[in-house]
Amino acid sequence: MARRTKEDALATRHRILDAAEQVFESQGVARTSLQQVAAAAGVTRGAIYWHFKDKAELFSAMMDRVLLPCEWAMDDAEQIEEEHPDPLSAVTALALAPLEQLSTDGRLRRVFTIAMHFTEYTDEMSPVLTRCDDGVGRYIAEIDRLLRQAMRRGELPPHLDSRAQATALFAMVDGLMHNWTRRPTAFELLPVARAGVVSFLRGLAGPVD
């Protein structure tokens, strides 16, 4: 009986989180009340408070159900480098990895869209921002490391500011994610991203003799 009660509670929690995704995406986090989430989930507001202290905790729990795009890329970084022993090829794969995951994972796309476009980051939301910043920092550092490896192999100019270029490449990836989640029908994400990353790295290498 206790096991069944625990399973029911977990199912209710997931139903609330599913409803929160839908309502947050349709009208934004700030304009959503817990009563609206409760109605969408088919539960009482008291049931929400049983699982979550407040809307900020509900939002954080929703975010915790997914790996963010840069986190996905870092989870795959070791495998990417094994499959792409050439560092510039690995940079290309690492740059495209967040976009590939975003384009194929419906929940990730929905949650990322909410986080990017429909959230006002108050003090209560600061843990989510810290998490995002940490993922981005690790992602840029990995691209930086691969670029320096390419410099040592003579594939890039020796005096290149690898950290600046890694940051610039992330800015391209981030801009593509931002614009595509805002207007998914405006362009085909992966073909545009692949062309942009290839052109960026070709520019770093300099003119071909």
User: What are the pLDDT digits (tens) for 97-125?
Assistant: 999 999 999 999 999 999 999 988 888 88
Q: What domains, with CATH codes, occur in the chain?
A: 2-64 (1.10.10.60), 69-205 (1.10.357.10)
Asked if the model's pLDDT at residue 209 lies above 70, the reply is no
Between CA 117 and CA 7 the distance in angstroms is 33
61 CA to centre of own chain: 15
Report pLDDT for 121: 86
Q: Which residues contact 130 (CB under 8 A, 6 or more apart)?
A: none
pTM: 0.88
Mean pLDDT to the nearest integer, 179-200: 96
Mean pLDDT to the nearest integer, 43-72: 93
User: What are the pLDDT digits (tens) for 121-177?
Assistant: 888 888 888 999 999 999 999 999 999 999 999 999 999 999 999 999 999 999 999
Question: Can you give the C-alpha Rg of the chain in angstroms?
Answer: 20
Neighbours of 138 (CB within 10 A): 14
